[in-house]
C-alpha cells in the first residue's frame, strides 16, 4: 500500500489511530478506517454538508479535508453527540420531538452544524431569515427545513432553560 | 350517510374480520426510526462492514452520441489494486439486456382501453457499440478500494467516433434528425391518444378559445444518499445477498434473477436504511454489481458519486405542452386539447407511466367534460427520464393552473373566482372522469370537497387581507402576489402489497412488508396500524421492510402507495392474526372468543379481567409441537400473510396558496408564505403527514425556481455538480402552514387512507408561477416555462414593459 | 469522486514552505483552507503530484488591528475576520463581504491567503483588498515583496505571484472616520452561492454631506475583481443622491466584461451590477450619516 501515514487524533473524546494515504479524505478515514459511519457523504465536493464534523470545536466539511490534516486534532462526529449513557443531546431530542428528520441522511451534518451554532449561543435564532441563512449550508431533501427550524429553536430554548 | 358509496368500495372480503377502531392511528407519535438516525447508527449500503470487500467504479461516456470503435483495458487491468475490468464484451451472452420494464409497467386493461403505441428499446447494462448519453456506463472496474478503481478509470482507452447528437425533443421529431435507435424507425418511443366527450363539438360551440405552449424543464430527484449496491456471493451455493439503496427490493431481485439466470430464492435483496429516493428506477448497476460479485466470488460494492448521480439518476419532468382551451364568458372551461412531448432521454424503461399520469391528472379538480390529449415520448441523447415525486402531475397541474389564470386574465376576472367556477362540487362525488386510470380502471374520484378545500386554504392564507396588502404594496412600489394551485393524485397504486405479521413466544410482534421506506416513517406508521389491531403498543412492534427473504412478493415504495397498500395489508393481516390469538386464548381460558378482549398485550375475559392470558403465553401455546394447545383443526403458529390488492387507486387532493414578492428590477423572487390544505383521507400520524408535505413543497419550490438539469445544444451536461444544479436551501423555503381536510376517509380501504408522499411536490410550480404573474399583473407577464430563474423573469418583465410602451 | 494520488508535505515554517515550493516547482500546489482546491482534486480537475499543506505554518495565522491597519496572516480563516468585533461597526463592507463567502462551515476552514491566491473573479476577498487599499506580501526564496492590491489580480485564477512565492500577509486600511459608510451587496441564486454580481461600496462624506472619498468594487463581472475608477470619479465631490448613484452605476460600463454561464448571461450580470451599485451607494450613504 503506497505511502500510508499513521494518524492519531481524538474523536468524540477518545484517542484513535489509523493510517491513510495522504489523499484519503477525512470523511473516508472516519467512515472506513475508524468505522464511524454516522458521518455521511452526499456530494464529496463540499456543497451538501452531510459530512460536517467539528474539528477543535468548529464545523468543517470532512470531504474537503484530508485525514492527514486532522492529525493531533480533536473531532466530534454525530456518534459523539449523545451522553456516554446514551441519552440524547437536547438538540437530538428536539430533532426527534419536532420530526426534523425523515430519511435522516443529512441529519448528522445538520446536528453537527447546529451544535456549533448552539454553542455560540444561537445568535439570531428567533429571526427567521438569520436562522435559515445559518442552516443554508446543509441540504435536506425530505423535511423542507421547516421542522429543522422548529427543532433548532426548541433546542436553543431547552438549553436556555437548563444550560 | 347521504353520499352515494364509491362504486369500487369493497363489500368486505370474506374471511377478513372488521378492523378495530383507531387508537394509535392518528396520534402524533415520535418515530421509531429516529434513535438510530440521530446517533449515527443507521446502516446504509455504504456503511456496511463486509470482510474482503472490493470496490467498483464505472467508466461513463463523455459523449452524448458516439460509436465505440474499440476499448483498450489492458493498462487499467494492470494498474495497482485492480482486480477486474469489464466491458460489454465480457457480459455478452451472460447478462441479458435490461428486462424490458415496459411490459410489466403497462396494465393489460389500460393497454386494451387506449391501445398505446409502444416500441421496445431495452437498455444494455454496459454500452456495446454506441453510447447514447453523457454518463452512460461503458466499463466497470473492480479494485481493492474506490481510490484505486478511480485511478484505473483514467487508464481505460475508449475509441469514440462522435455521432451527431440530438438534445431537443422537437428537433428529434424532424425529418433528418439523428435517430437514436435506428431499429425503431424514428425517435417516438411511445404515443397514445385519450379522448373524453366531444372535444370538437365543444370547441365549435365555445364562445372563446385560447392556446398556450407550456413547458416544464428537466429536473432530477436528488436523494441525499446516492445510489449504492453491495453484493455478497455465497460461491459454494451460487447464491447472492444484495444490499441495494433501491426502493423496490423485489423488483431488483427479479431483474437480477432474469438477467443473470438465477432462481428467485438464490438471490436475497435487502434494502437497508435509505437516504431518500423520490423516484423509482432500475439502473444498470443494480444488476452489474451482482454480476461482478458472482463472477469474482467476492463481495463487491459500488457507491454512486454525486457526479454520476447528476448525469444519470432519476431525471424527470421535461415536458412540452401545446394546449388549447375552450371556455365561456363566465370563465367556465368547456374543453381542452393538449398535445405534449416528454423528452424521455436515450432509453425509456417506464413505457407510458409518466405520460399517462399526465393525461390522467390534467383536469385535476376541475369538471371539464371534453378533453383530448395526445402524448409522445421522444428519445434524445440525454439521460433516461424516470418517475420522480409527482411523476407527470406537476407538469399538468402547471399547465392547467396557468390555463385557469390565462382564462381569468382574458376575461378580467379574479383567477380564484374562475377556479371556483370550474371545480367539481362535493355533491357530484364520487365523480367519474370518463377515462381509465393507469391501472386500466375507469377513474372515479373518492369523496372530497374541493371548493371547501379552496376556501379553507384561502382562509388560512388570509387571501382577502393579502389582496389589501397587495394594493398598498403596489402603491409603495413593491410587487407582491398570490398564486393558487390545486391537484388530485391517484395514490396507492397496485397491483398489491403484502404483509407478514407474527408474534414471537415472548409476545413481541414483527411485521414484514415488501414496501421499502426511504424516509416515509413506515416503521412508525405501520407499527401504529398493527398495534391497534393486536392490542399492543407500537413499541411492541418491529417493522422490517424491504427484505426479499422475509416476504415472498413485494412491490416497493413509490407512487404515494405504501401507507395505502402496505398499511392496509398490515392492518388486515394483524386483524386476522387477532382472530387467531383470540381463538387460542379461548382454548386456554375456556371462554368463548366473543367474550374475550385483546388489549395491553393480553387477552382477558370481558367483565373478569383477572382471567387473562398474555400474548407470550398464547404464542407459546401456538408453537408447533406436543405442548401446543390449539383449537381442533387450527394450524400452529401465530403468523398471518396477507396480500392486499387494491381495487384501484384512491384519490388524494390538495390546494396550495403562496405569496411572493418580486424584485422587478432584478427578477429575484422571494417566497413570503406558503399554505397547503390536503385531503389524504385518514391520517396515520399527522406529524408525519405534515413533514411529507413540507418536503414535497420544498421539492416543488426547487422545480419552480431553482433546479434544472441543463444540456447544451450538443447534449453535453452543464449541471454536473451541486454548484450548478441548485437544490433549495433553508433560505429558499418559506414557512409552510399545513391544513388538513380529514372528513373524507377513502372508501376503498378499511382504514380510509389516501396517499400523501408526492402531493406536496405537485402544486408549487403552478402556484408560484401564478403568484409571480399576479405580482406583476399590471405588466401582464405570462410565465410559460418553469423553472424560472431570476434572469428568465427579468427578461419577461423587460419584454412586458417594452410591449406596454409599444402598445 | 476520489482525488488522484499526491505526495504530501506539511512544513511548519514559512521558510520551510518556501523551500518545498522551490524544490517541487510547478508540480506542487499549496493547500491552504482547501475549500476550492479539494473539490477540484476530488473531481480530478486538478491532480498536482505534491501538495504542500500550509496549515502547520503557525506564523501565517494572525490577525491584528493597529490604528487603521488591519494585518491578516495568509492562513487566517474567513470566520476569524468575520467575528472580529471591532470590524463590525468600523467596516461593515469587510464583515458583510466576508460573511457572504459560502457558509459558516466553509468560512471556518477557508483562508484569506488562499482566496487571494486562487483569484476567483467572483470571490469576495479580492474586491475587499482592492477597496481597502490592500497590500499583499509575497514570500519567496529571495524574501518578501509587497504587491499593491491593484497589481495583484491579473486575470481568471491568475495573480502577480511568481510560481515560487507564497502569500504571507495582507494589510488593509480600515477607515476610522464616523462619516464613513460602507456595505457589501450581492445577488446570488441562493444564499452562499457565488454571486451573479456583487458590489462593495465605501463612501466618506464631509460635514456638508458631499462625498470626499469613494470606493466601488465589483465581483463576478470581469476576469478579476474590479475597482471602478469610473464610478468613483463620478462620486467624489458630488452630493449623494439617486441621480448621482445612477450616473455612477452607468460609469462602470466600460470597466466590466461579464461572461455568460447557465446562471446568468453577460448582459444580465451587467444589469445586476448596476442595480447593486445604486443600492450599495444608497446604503453606504445612509451608514455614513447622509441621507
Distance, in angstroms, between C189 CA and closest chain B CA?
A: 8
Find, in chain B, the residue whose alpha carbon is nearest to that of A133.
B731
Tens of pLDDT along B432-450?
A: 999 999 999 999 999 999 9
Within 8 A of C198 by CB-CB distance, chain B residues are none
Find, in chain A, the residue whose alpha carbon is nearest to that of C109.
A60
Q: Backbone phi, then psi, for B268, in 5-degree steps?
A: -110, 120
Taking the domain C180-287, which CATH number applies?
3.30.390.50
The residue among C279, C259, C277 whose CA lies nearest residue C267 is C259
* Nearest Cβ partner for A137 among C2, C41, C192: C192
Tens of pLDDT along C64-111?
A: 999 999 999 999 999 999 999 999 999 999 999 999 999 999 999 999
Within 8 A of C55 by CB-CB distance, chain A residues are 69
Tens of pLDDT along C111-163?
A: 999 999 999 999 999 999 999 999 999 999 999 999 999 999 999 999 999 99
Within 8 A of C268 by CB-CB distance, chain B residues are 790-791, 794-795
| Coil vs helix vs strand at B517 | coil
List Cα–Cα distances, B560 to B351, B489, B517, in angstroms: 19, 9, 11
Over residues A93-121, the mean pLDDT reads 98
Give the angle A55-A58-A60 at the CA atoms, nearest 5°: 70
The residue among C111, C104, C10 whose CA lies nearest residue C57 is C10
For the question of an ipTM over 0.85, the answer is yes
What are the residue boundaries of the structural domains of chain B, listed by start? 49-92+128-163+227-303, 315-490+650-806, 494-644
In the CATH hierarchy, which fold is given to the domain comprising A5-80? Ubiquitin-like (UB roll) (3.10.20)
What are the residue boundaries of the structural domains of chain C, listed by start? 7-56, 58-173, 180-287
Pairing of strands C195-205, C211-219: antiparallel
φ/ψ bin of B483: left (φ > 0), alpha (ψ from -120 to 50), beta (otherwise): beta
pLDDT at residue B102 in the model: 43
Tens of pLDDT along B446-496?
A: 999 999 999 999 999 999 999 999 999 999 999 999 999 999 999 999 999
Domain B315-490+650-806 in CATH 3.30.365.10: yes
DSSP state of B702: I
Say yes or no: A129 contacts chain B, CB-CB below 8 A: yes
DSSP state of B608: E
* Nearest Cβ partner for A46 among C2, C38, C79: C38
In the CATH hierarchy, which fold is given to the domain comprising B494-644? Aldehyde Oxidoreductase; domain 4 (3.30.365)
C-beta atoms of A137 and C102 within 8 A: yes
Q: Containing H/E element for B231?
A: strand B228-234
* Nearest Cβ partner for C42 among A5, A44, A116: A44
* Nearest Cβ partner for A79 among B39, B275, B691: B39
On the question of a common fold for B315-490+650-806 and B494-644, the answer reads yes
Task: Produce one character per residue of B7-31: b if its CB has 16 or more CB atoms within 10 Å, e if not.
Answer: ebeeeeeeebeebbebebbbeebbb
B14 pLDDT higher than 70: no
Taking the domain C58-173, which CATH number applies?
3.30.465.10
* Nearest Cβ partner for C105 among A21, A133, A137: A137
Say yes or no: A42 contacts chain B, CB-CB below 8 A: yes
- Distance, in Å, from the CA atom of B497 to the CA atom of A110, rounded to the nearest integer, reads 34
Q: What is the mean pLDDT of chain A?
A: 96
Say yes or no: A61 contacts chain B, CB-CB below 8 A: no
The residue among B765, B764, B745, B763 whose CA lies nearest residue B754 is B745
B106 pLDDT higher than 90: no
Within 8 A of B306 by CB-CB distance, chain C residues are 1
Say yes or no: A130 contacts chain C, CB-CB below 8 A: no
- Which cell is C281 given? 451607494
Q: How many Cβ atoms are within 10 Å of B542's Cβ, its own excluded?
A: 16
B146 pLDDT higher than 80: yes
B622 pLDDT higher than 70: yes
List Cα–Cα distances, C85 to B214, C80, C94, in angstroms: 52, 10, 12
Say yes or no: C38 contacts chain B, CB-CB below 8 A: no
Within 8 A of A58 by CB-CB distance, chain C residues are 79, 108-109
Distance, in angstroms, between C236 CA and closest chain A CA?
A: 35
Say yes or no: C220 contacts chain B, CB-CB below 8 A: no
Within 8 A of C109 by CB-CB distance, chain A residues are 58, 60-61, 64-65
- Which cell is C164 given? 515560487
DSSP state of B9: -
B723 pLDDT higher than 90: yes
C-beta atoms of A137 and C10 within 8 A: no
- Distance, in Å, from the CA atom of B706 to the CA atom of B726, rounded to the nearest integer, reads 6
* Nearest Cβ partner for A69 among C39, C42, C55: C55
Dihedral sign (CA A44, A47, A48, A53): positive
Say yes or no: C188 contacts chain A, CB-CB below 8 A: no
Give chain C's radius of gyration (CA, Å): 19
Tens of pLDDT along C162-189?
A: 999 999 999 999 998 889 999 999 999 9
**Superfamily designation of domain B49-92+128-163+227-303:** Aldehyde oxidase/xanthine dehydrogenase, a/b hammerhead (3.90.1170.50)
C-beta atoms of B225 and A40 within 8 A: yes
C-beta atoms of A64 and C35 within 8 A: yes
C-beta atoms of B154 and C275 within 8 A: no
- Which cell is A124 given? 439570531
pLDDT at residue C17 in the model: 98
Within 8 A of C103 by CB-CB distance, chain A residues are 49, 136-137
Say if residues C89 and C113 touch (Cβ distance below 8 Å). Answer: no
Over residues B726-737, the mean pLDDT reads 98
C-beta atoms of A135 and B44 within 8 A: no
Distance, in angstroms, between A70 CA and closest chain B CA?
A: 20
Distance, in angstroms, between C169 CA and closest chain A CA?
A: 22
Tens of pLDDT along B63-96?
A: 999 999 999 999 999 999 999 999 999 999 999 8
C-beta atoms of C8 and A61 within 8 A: no
User: Count of A–C CB contacts within 8 Å?
Assistant: 85
List Cα–Cα distances, C42 to B229, B336, B729, C48, in angstroms: 22, 51, 23, 12
Find, in chain A, the residue whose alpha carbon is nearest to that of B30.
A97
- SS3 sequence, chain C? CCCCCCEEECCCCHHHHHHHHHHHHHHEEEECCCCCHHHHHHCCCCCCCEEEEHHHCHHHCCEEEECCEEEEECCCEHHHHHCCHHHHHHCHHHHHHHHCCCCHHHHCCCEHHHHHHHCCCCCHHHHHHHHCCCEEEEEECCEEEEEEHHHHEEECCEECCCCCCEEEEEEEECCCCCCEEEEEEEEECCCCCCEEEEEEEEEEECCCCCEEEEEEEEECCCCCCEECHHHHHHHCCCCCCHHHHHHHHHHCHHHCCCCCECCECHHHHHHHHHHHHHHHHHHHHHHCCCC
Tens of pLDDT along B200-235?
A: 999 999 999 999 999 999 999 999 999 999 999 998
- Mutate which: A77, A102, A129, vs B, most B CBs within 10 A: A102
- Distance, in Å, from the CA atom of B740 to the CA atom of B746, rounded to the nearest integer, reads 14
Within 8 A of C272 by CB-CB distance, chain B residues are 666
Say yes or no: A139 contacts chain B, CB-CB below 8 A: yes
* Nearest Cβ partner for A96 among B34, B695, B733: B34
Domain C7-56 in CATH 3.30.43.10: yes
User: Count of A–B CB contacts within 8 Å?
Assistant: 184
Confidence at B104, pLDDT banded by 50, 70, 90: low
C-beta atoms of A103 and B723 within 8 A: no
Within 8 A of B275 by CB-CB distance, chain A residues are 40, 42, 103-106
Within 8 A of B668 by CB-CB distance, chain C residues are 187
Dihedral sign (CA B543, B548, B550, B554): positive
In the CATH hierarchy, which fold is given to the domain comprising A90-161? DNA polymerase; domain 1 (1.10.150)
Reported residue count of chain A is 163
C-beta atoms of B718 and C262 within 8 A: yes
Say yes or no: A148 contacts chain B, CB-CB below 8 A: yes
Q: How many Cβ atoms are within 10 Å of B537's Cβ, its own excluded?
A: 16
Give the relative orientation of helices B249-260 and B284-296 as an angle to the nearest 10 degrees: 60
Q: How many Cβ atoms are within 10 Å of C260's Cβ, its own excluded?
A: 12
Query: In angstroms, how far is CA A89 from the centroid of its own chain?
Result: 13
Within 8 A of C4 by CB-CB distance, chain B residues are 150-151, 154
Within 8 A of C44 by CB-CB distance, chain B residues are 150, 154
Q: How many Cβ atoms are within 10 Å of B465's Cβ, its own excluded?
A: 9
How is chain A classified by DSSP, letter by letter? -TT-EEEEEEETTEEEEEEE-TTSBHHHIIIIIS--TTS--S-SSSSS-TTEEEETTEEEEGGGSBGGGGTT-EEE-GGGSS-TTSPPPHHHHHHHHTT--SS-SSHHHHHHHHHHHHHTT-TTTTSHHHHHHHHTTS--SSSTTHHHHHHHHHHHHHHHH--
**Which C residues 162-191 touch B at CB under 8 Å?**
187, 189-191
What are the residue boundaries of the structural domains of chain A, listed by start? 5-80, 90-161
Say if residues B485 and B766 touch (Cβ distance below 8 Å). Answer: yes
Q: How many Cβ atoms are within 10 Å of C286's Cβ, its own excluded?
A: 14
Q: Containing H/E element for B189?
A: strand B188-196
Tens of pLDDT along B497-538?
A: 999 999 999 999 999 999 999 999 999 999 999 999 999 999
Within 8 A of A115 by CB-CB distance, chain C residues are none
- Mutate which: C103, C263, C278, vs B, most B CBs within 10 A: C263
* Nearest Cβ partner for A60 among C39, C51, C105: C105
Amino acid at each position: 500500500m503506497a505511502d500510508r501515514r499513521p494518524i492519531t487524533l481524538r474523536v468524540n473524546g477518545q484517542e484513535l489511530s489509523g493510517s491513510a494515504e495522504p489523499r484519503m479524505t477525512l470523511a473516508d478515514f472516519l467512515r472506513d478506517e475508524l468505522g464511524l459511519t454516522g458521518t455521511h457523504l452526499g456530494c464529496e465536493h463540499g456543497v451538501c454538508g452531510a459530512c460536517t464534523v467539528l474539528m477543535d470545536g468548529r464545523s468543517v466539511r470532512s470531504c474537503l479535508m484530508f485525514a492527514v490534516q486532522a492529525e493531533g486534532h480533536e473531532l466530534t462526529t454525530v456518534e459523539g453527540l449523545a451522553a456516554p449513557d446514551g441519552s440524547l443531546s437536547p438538540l437530538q431530542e428536539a430533532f426527534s420531538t419536532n420530526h426534523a428528520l425523515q430519511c435522516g441522511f443529512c441529519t448528522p451534518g445538520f446536528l453537527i452544524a447546529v451544535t456549533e451554532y448552539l454553542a455560540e449561543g444561537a445568535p439570531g435564532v428567533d429571526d427567521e431569515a438569520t436562522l435559515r441563512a445559518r442552516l443554508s449550508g446543509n441540504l435536506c431533501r425530505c423535511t423542507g427545513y421547516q421542522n429543522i427550524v422548529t427543532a433548532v429553536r426548541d433546542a436553543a430554548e431547552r438549553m436556555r432553560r437548563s444550560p | 350517510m347521504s353520499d352515494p358509496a364509491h362504486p369500487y368500495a369493497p363489500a368486505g372480503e370474506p374471511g377478513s374480520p372488521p378492523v378495530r377502531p383507531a387508537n394509535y392511528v392518528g396520534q402524533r407519535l415520535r418515530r421509531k426510526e429516529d434513535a438510530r438516525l440521530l446517533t449515527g447508527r443507521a446502516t446504509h449500503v455504504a456503511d456496511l462492514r463486509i470482510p474482503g470487500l472490493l470496490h467498483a467504479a464505472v467508466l461513463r461516456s463523455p459523449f452524448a452520441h458516439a460509436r465505440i470503435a474499440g476499448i483498450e483495458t489492458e493498462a487499467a487491468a494492470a494498474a495497482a489494486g485492480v482486480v477486474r475490468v469489464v466491458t460489454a464484451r465480457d457480459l455478452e451472452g451472460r447478462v441479458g439486456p435490461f428486462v424490458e420494464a415496459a411490459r410489466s409497467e403497462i396494465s393489460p386493461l389500460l393497454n386494451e382501453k387506449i391501445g398505446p403505441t409502444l416500441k421496445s428499446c431495452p437498455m444494455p447494462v454496459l454500452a456495446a457499440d454506441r453510447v447514447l448519453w453523457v454518463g452512460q456506463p461503458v466499463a466497470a472496474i473492480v479494485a481493492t478500494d474506490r481510490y484505486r478503481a478511480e485511478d484505473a478509470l483514467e487508464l481505460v482507452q475508449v475509441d469514440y467516433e462522435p455521432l451527431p447528437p440530438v438534445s431537443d425533443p422537437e428537433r428529434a421529431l424532424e425529418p433528418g434528425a439523428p435517430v437514436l435507435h435506428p431499429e425503431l424507425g424514428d425517435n417516438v418511443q411511445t404515443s397514445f391518444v385519450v379522448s373524453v366527450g366531444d372535444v370538437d363539438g365543444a370547441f365549435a360551440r365555445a364562445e372563446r378559445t385560447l392556446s398556450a405552449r407550456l413547458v416544464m424543464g428537466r429536473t432530477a430527484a436528488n436523494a441525499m444518499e446516492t445510489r449504492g449496491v453491495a453484493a455478497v456471493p455465497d460461491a459454494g451455493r451460487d447464491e447472492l445477498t444484495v444490499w441495494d439503496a433501491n426502493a423496490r427490493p423485489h423488483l431488483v431481485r427479479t431483474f437480477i434473477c432474469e438477467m443473470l439466470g438465477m432462481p428467485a430464492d438464490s438471490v436475497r435483496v435487502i434494502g437497508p436504511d435509505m437516504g431518500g429516493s423520490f423516484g423509482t428506477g432500475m439502473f444498470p448497476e443494480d444488476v452489474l454489481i451482482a454480476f461482478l460479485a458472482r463472477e469474482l466470488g467476492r463481495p463487491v460494492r459500488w457507491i454512486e458519486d454525486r457526479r454520476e448521480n447528476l448525469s444519470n439518476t432519476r431525471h424527470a419532468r421535461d415536458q412540452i405542452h401545446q394546449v388549447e382551451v375552450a371556455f365561456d364568458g363566465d370563465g367556465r372551461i368547456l374543453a381542452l386539447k393538449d398535445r405534449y412531448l416528454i423528452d424521455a432521454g436515450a432509453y425509456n424503461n417506464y413505457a407510458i407511466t409518466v405520460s399517462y399520469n399526465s393525461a390522467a391528472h390534467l383536469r385535476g379538480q376541475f369538471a371539464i367534460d371534453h378533453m383530448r390529449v395526445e402524448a409522445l415520448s421522444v428519445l434524445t441523447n440525454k439521460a433516461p427520464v424516470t418517475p420522480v415525486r409527482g411523476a407527470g402531475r406537476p407538469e399538468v397541474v402547471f399547465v392547467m393552473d396557468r390555463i385557469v389564470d390565462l382564462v381569468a386574465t382574458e376575461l378580467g376576472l379574479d383567477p380564484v373566482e374562475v377556479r371556483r367556477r370550474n371545480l367539481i362540487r362535493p355533491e357530484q362525488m364520487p365523480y367519474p372522469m370518463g377515462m381509465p386510470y393507469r391501472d386500466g380502471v375507469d377513474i372515479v374520484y373518492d369523496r372530497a370537497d374541493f371548493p371547501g378545500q379552496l376556501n379553507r386554504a384561502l382562509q388560512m392564507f388570509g387571501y382577502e387581507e393579502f389582496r389589501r396588502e397587495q394594493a398598498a404594496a403596489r402603491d409603495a412600489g413593491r410587487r407582491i402576489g398570490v398564486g393558487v394551485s390545486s391537484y388530485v393524485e391517484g395514490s396507492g397504486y397496485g397491483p398489491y402489497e403484502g404483509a407478514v405479521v407474527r408474534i414471537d413466544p415472548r409476545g413481541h410482534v414483527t411485521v414484514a412488508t415488501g414496501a421499502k421506506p426511504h424516509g416515509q416513517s413506515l416503521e412508525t406508521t405501520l407499527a401504529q396500524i398493527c398495534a391497534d389491531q393486536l392490542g399492543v403498543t407500537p413499541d411492541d412492534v418491529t417493522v422490517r421492510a424491504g427484505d426479499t427473504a422475509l416476504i415472498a412478493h413485494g412491490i416497493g415504495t413509490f407512487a404515494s402507495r405504501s401507507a395505502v397498500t402496505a398499511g392496509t395489508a398490515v392492518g388486515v393481516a394483524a386483524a386476522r392474526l387477532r382472530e387467531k390469538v383470540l381463538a387460542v386464548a379461548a382454548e386456554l381460558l375456556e371462554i368463548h372468543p366473543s367474550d374475550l378482549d385483546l388489549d395491553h398485550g393480553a387477552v382477558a375475559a370481558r367483565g373478569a379481567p383477572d382471567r387473562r392470558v398474555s400474548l407470550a403465553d398464547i404464542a407459546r401455546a401456538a408453537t408447533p409441537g406436543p405442548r401446543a394447545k390449539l383449537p381442533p383443526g387450527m394450524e400452529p403458529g401465530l403468523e398471518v400473510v396477507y396480500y392486499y390488492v387494491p381495487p384501484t387507486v384512491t384519490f388524494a387532493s390538495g390546494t396550495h396558496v403562496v405569496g411572493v414578492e418580486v424584485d422587478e428590477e432584478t427578477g429575484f423572487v422571494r417566497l413570503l408564505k406558503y399554505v397547503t390544505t390536503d385531503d389524504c383521507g385518514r391520517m396515520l400520524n399527522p406529524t408525519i403527514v405534515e413533514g411529507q408535505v413540507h418536503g414535497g413543497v420544498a421539492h416543488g419550490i426547487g422545480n419552480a425556481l431553482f433546479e434544472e438539469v441543463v444540456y447544451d445544444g450538443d447534449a453535453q451536461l452543464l449541471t454536473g455538480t451541486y454548484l450548478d444544479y441548485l437544490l433549495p436551501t433553508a433560505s429558499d423555503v418559506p414557512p409552510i402552514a399545513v391544513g388538513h381536510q380529514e372528513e373524507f376517509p377513502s372508501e376503498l380501504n378499511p382504514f380510509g387512507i389516501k396517499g400523501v408522499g408526492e402531493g406536496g411536490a405537485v402544486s408549487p410550480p403552478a402556484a408560484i408561477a401564478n403568484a409571480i404573474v399576479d405580482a406583476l399583473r399590471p405588466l401582464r407577464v405570462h410565465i410559460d416555462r418553469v423553472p424560472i430563474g431570476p434572469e428568465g423573469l427579468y427578461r419577461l418583465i423587460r419584454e412586458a414593459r417594452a410591449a406596454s410602451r409599444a402598445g | 469522486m476520489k482525488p488522484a494520488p499526491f505526495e504530501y508535505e506539511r512544513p511548519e515554517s514559512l521558510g520551510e514552505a518556501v523551500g518545498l515550493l522551490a524544490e517541487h516547482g510547478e508540480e506542487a500546489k499549496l493547500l491552504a483552507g482547501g475549500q476550492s482546491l479539494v473539490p477540484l482534486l476530488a473531481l480530478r480537475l486538478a491532480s498536482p503530484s505534491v501538495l504542500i499543506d500550509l496549515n502547520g505554518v503557525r506564523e501565517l495565522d494572525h490577525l491584528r488591528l493597529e490604528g487603521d491597519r488591519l494585518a491578516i496572516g495568509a492562513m487566517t480563516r474567513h470566520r476569524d475576520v468575520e467575528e472580529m468585533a471591532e470590524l463590525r461597526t468600523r467596516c461593515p463592507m469587510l464583515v458583510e463581504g466576508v460573511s457572504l463567502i459560502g457558509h459558516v462551515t466553509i468560512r471556518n476552514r477557508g483562508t484569506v491567503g488562499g482566496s487571494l491566491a486562487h483569484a476567483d473573479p467572483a470571490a469576495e476577498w479580492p474586491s475587499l483588498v482592492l477597496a481597502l487599499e490592500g497590500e499583499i506580501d509575497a514570500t519567496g526564496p529571495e524574501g518578501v515583496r509587497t504587491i499593491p492590491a491593484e497589481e495583484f489580480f491579473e486575470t481568471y485564477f491568475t495573480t502577480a505571484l511568481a510560481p515560487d512565492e507564497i502569500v504571507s500577509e495582507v494589510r488593509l486600511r480600515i477607515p476610522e472616520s464616523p462619516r464613513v459608510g460602507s456595505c457589501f451587496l450581492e445577488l446570488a441564486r441562493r444564499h452562499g452561492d457565488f454571486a451573479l454580481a456583487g458590489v462593495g461600496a465605501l463612501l466618506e462624506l464631509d460635514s456638508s454631506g458631499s462625498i470626499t472619498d469613494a470606493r466601488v468594487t465589483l465581483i463576478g463581472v470581469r476576469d478579476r475583481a474590479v475597482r471602478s475608477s469610473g464610478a468613483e470619479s463620478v462620486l467624489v465631490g458630488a452630493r449623494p443622491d439617486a441621480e448621482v448613484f445612477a450616473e455612477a452605476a452607468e460609469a462602470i460600463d466600460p470597466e466590466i466584461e461579464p461572461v455568460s454561464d447557465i446562471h446568468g448571461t453577460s448582459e444580465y450580470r451587467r444589469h445586476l451590477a448596476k442595480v447593486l451599485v445604486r443600492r450599495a451607494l444608497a446604503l453606504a450613504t445612509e451608514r455614513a450619516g447622509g441621507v
